[in-house]
Chains A and B, each alone.
Chain A
């Protein structure tokens, strides 16, 4: 018995598909554009409806890229931030006077450094602690007169974290007036806020996505309507459906890619300028520093820009498929 493989010659068929795909034709056409072929394309290159379509695609791609970029950035910086916060706890030393106080801070720091699961202990100096309070209390004259508690920043090893409750208990039993804050409540609140921010962003993204799909489909349809004559004539001179569909796919994919790239380029410029404008707008001072820390990673990284590429591919494909279905629908009416 002879066994025939269902996937016989699959690589060959795949290669054929790739070779005849409109993507290959358009992209290689874009590449050797300078050469310029002699005869005009069968599908009219620039019509009014086509120009309107170009504008619609560019704008919708721009919006879709902005939204997806923003959601991506928020999600990303929230993740980064959680990682930072989760790896730090603060120990507060509040009771003591003069050199006694300094000594107590040092003792607590040494004690902490000896505990398992702790990477780094960084006692803040009186000045540094004061700086943190400045925005609330004003100039440091006032501060020097007050018994300001001192903070010790403790970086924990997240791969084998210490038992924070045990640590808190042993700190409190060994020293008087020493508390450990693991930012848990703050973290929980923050997490809720950012999570709802990201969810909201995804909801907006879906709306923008739906609007993009709807407007591109309808703009492509109206551009196709003005091409009815061409489809008809091609049909009458004996062109096969696939030939006609292919010509239109190439044309609309071309429009989709070009206009999509313009939109994505616009969004890229916005994201490149974003950190700069933030800095200009928020001015100097602590608020700015906080703000910068929050949007610290508002800079889009390369997977973010890859997202833009994905948006362009989706938009161009949408445009192409709509034109194909448009061709088939018009041809149906002659059968």
Chain B
């Protein structure tokens, strides 16, 4: 499903952020990605999402070598991946509902086919009353939940979440974690980047630990 071979990453002429990262994740797995701030968690997720090319090494996603794919096929691969950005990236001129529905709209599905799904999901993440609100007026936690809803609405095969519980209280964090676990049970592979140990202790999942550029699985 995911295979990193000797990945190295540096930004420009800076120091190597990641060194000799080598791992293999099977379909349907559930992992936490952790490490101190600045260790390279976001960078690793961006490489998985093909929005960042490694300086060296090979990445295989869904059995394909991503470095030599044409852009249209990379777009197709991205459709199988849901991502929650650390800074949410909601579009300010669209309502919460429209933001969450955006991936399906981009995939060319008709609005009638997904209208109820989007509404149900928003209710599930506790945004039932905020569907017509614009991101500007949402709280940090509400934006986070909208971003998560957008990432999972397309039933991705791989879900990448960057600090998905950074802005919510422990009760909501648990609820969101249960959503991820539920998705995982339905077959989605999940990688959650976090330094929230309380969250990681909630479930018994292997941890990918980044430390000084190296990756270790515990």
Tell me the A residues contacting B by CB distance below 8 Å: 38-40, 42, 44-45, 229-230, 232-243, 331, 334-335
Contacts and interface: CB of A to CB of B under 8 A. Distances in A.
B71 A238 contact: no
Given A40-B94, A40-B95, A241-B72, A234 B106 contact: yes
Nearest to B88: A233
Contact of B78 (A39, A45, A236): A236
Contacts, number: 65
Given A230-B91, A236-B49, A335-B71, A39 B111 contact: yes
Interface centre among B85, B93, B111 (most CB of A within 10 A): B93
Interface centre among B53, B105, B150 (most CB of A within 10 A): B105
B64 interface: no
Nearest to A247: B106
A242 B111 CA distance: 21
A42 B101 CA distance: 11
B131 interface: no
A233 B91 contact: yes
B89 interface: yes
A39 B105 CA distance: 10
B75 interface: yes
B102 A237 contact: yes
Contact of A44 (B90, B93, B101): B93
Given A39-B111, A40-B94, A42-B105, A237 B51 contact: no
A252 to B, nearest CB: 16
A241 B71 contact: yes
A280 B71 CA distance: 64
B166 interface: no
Given A38-B111, A243-B106, A334-B51, A236 B95 contact: no
Contacts of B72: 240-242
22 contacts: A39-B98, A40-B94, A45-B93, A229-B92, A230-B91, A232-B89, A234-B102, A236-B49, A236-B78, A236-B89, A237-B103, A237-B154, A238-B76, A238-B78, A238-B79, A238-B103, A238-B154, A239-B75, A241-B75, A242-B72, A334-B51, A335-B71
Contacts of A331: 71
A20 to B, nearest CB: 13
Given A39-B105, A234-B102, A335-B53, 10 more contacts: A39-B111, A44-B93, A229-B89, A233-B90, A235-B51, A235-B75, A235-B78, A236-B89, A237-B154, A238-B78
Contacts of B51: 235-236, 334
Query: Shortest 6 CB-CB distances between A and B: which pairs?
Result: A238-B79, A238-B78, A44-B93, A237-B103, A239-B106, A240-B75
